[in-house]
A and B are shown apart, each in its own frame.
Chain A
Amino acid sequence: GDSVTQMEGPVTLSEEAFLTINCTYTATGYPSLFWYVQYPGEGLQLLLKATKADDKGSNKGFEATYRKETTSFHLEKGSVQVSDSAVYFCALSDRTSGTYKYIFGTGTRLKVLA
């Protein structure tokens, strides 16, 4: 079945450091890929998405490129801020499987220090 694997956290960085959170997936069809962010005490917010190979999703300085050859969708940001401290979830949705369900990774906690 489809699956998503994220790097384990927590990830601790200093402000203005470069961020990479790794995400790889397995899917039998042609999935769409997503990154969600969860701030403390809140629900998940869509951060960015990509729907086909080589698409790049971007939002608020975050980027991720859909790499079919490496089945990856790594999240990057060039310069993190304290306000980026949150839990980040990678997810896929494979409509070719006939369902609309998401498969989520286990989440990666990011802590940015001033």
Chain B
Amino acid sequence: EADIYQTPRYLVIGTGKKITLECSQTMGHDKMYWYQQDPGMELHLIHYSYGVNSTEKGDLSSESTVSRIRTEHFPLTLESARPSHTSQYLCASSEPGRGQVETQYFGPGTRLLVL
């Protein structure tokens, strides 16, 4: 069972506010990911990290930023929230298992509503 945590679980915020979504994992995984999930359920990779001080933009352009100062922590920040940022944000981490197969483990998600 994976131990990956996200806070807050739900957030309602006004336009223009700065927010940080927290993601922590206790498994010592090097690789971590942020996905944005739209109402149609599709998952879009917006950021990923292969280790401390490593961050990359994902396949979907996002106005958010991330940092990776500690292995276990991968926060996502929106400097100025807009209604278009309303979505569910999922954090994941992965490790190479048997045969070097990467298995991703997901947190419970943060549901964000920007008014």
Q: Mark A74-114, 1 if CB is under 8 A from B, else 0.
A: 00000000000001010001010000111010110100000
B90-108 interface code vs A (CB 8 A; 1 in, 0 out): 1010100001111111111
**B106 touching A43, Cβ below 8 Å:** yes
Query: Contact partner of A87 among B41, B59, B99, B108, CB < 8 A?
Result: B41
Contact B106 A44 (CB under 8 A): yes
Nearest CB in chain A to that of B105: its residue: A46
Interface of B is mostly: strand
Contact of B101 among A38, A42, A43, A49 (CB under 8 A): A49
Residues of B within 8 Å of A100, CB to CB, are 31, 50, 94, 102
B74 in the interface (beta carbon within 8 A): no
Give Cα A35–Cα B99 distance, bound, in whole angstroms. Answer: 18
* Least CB distance, A102 to chain B, in whole angstroms: 6
CB nearest to A101 among chain B residues: B45
List residues of B whose CB falls within 8 A of some A CB.
6, 31, 33, 40-43, 45, 48, 50, 58-59, 90, 92, 94, 99-109, 111
* Residue ranges of A at the interface with B (Cβ–Cβ < 8 Å): 32, 34, 36, 38, 41-46, 49, 51, 87, 89, 93, 95, 100-102, 104, 106-107, 109
Closest 6 CB pairs of A and B: A43-B106, A107-B41, A44-B106, A104-B43, A32-B101, A43-B108
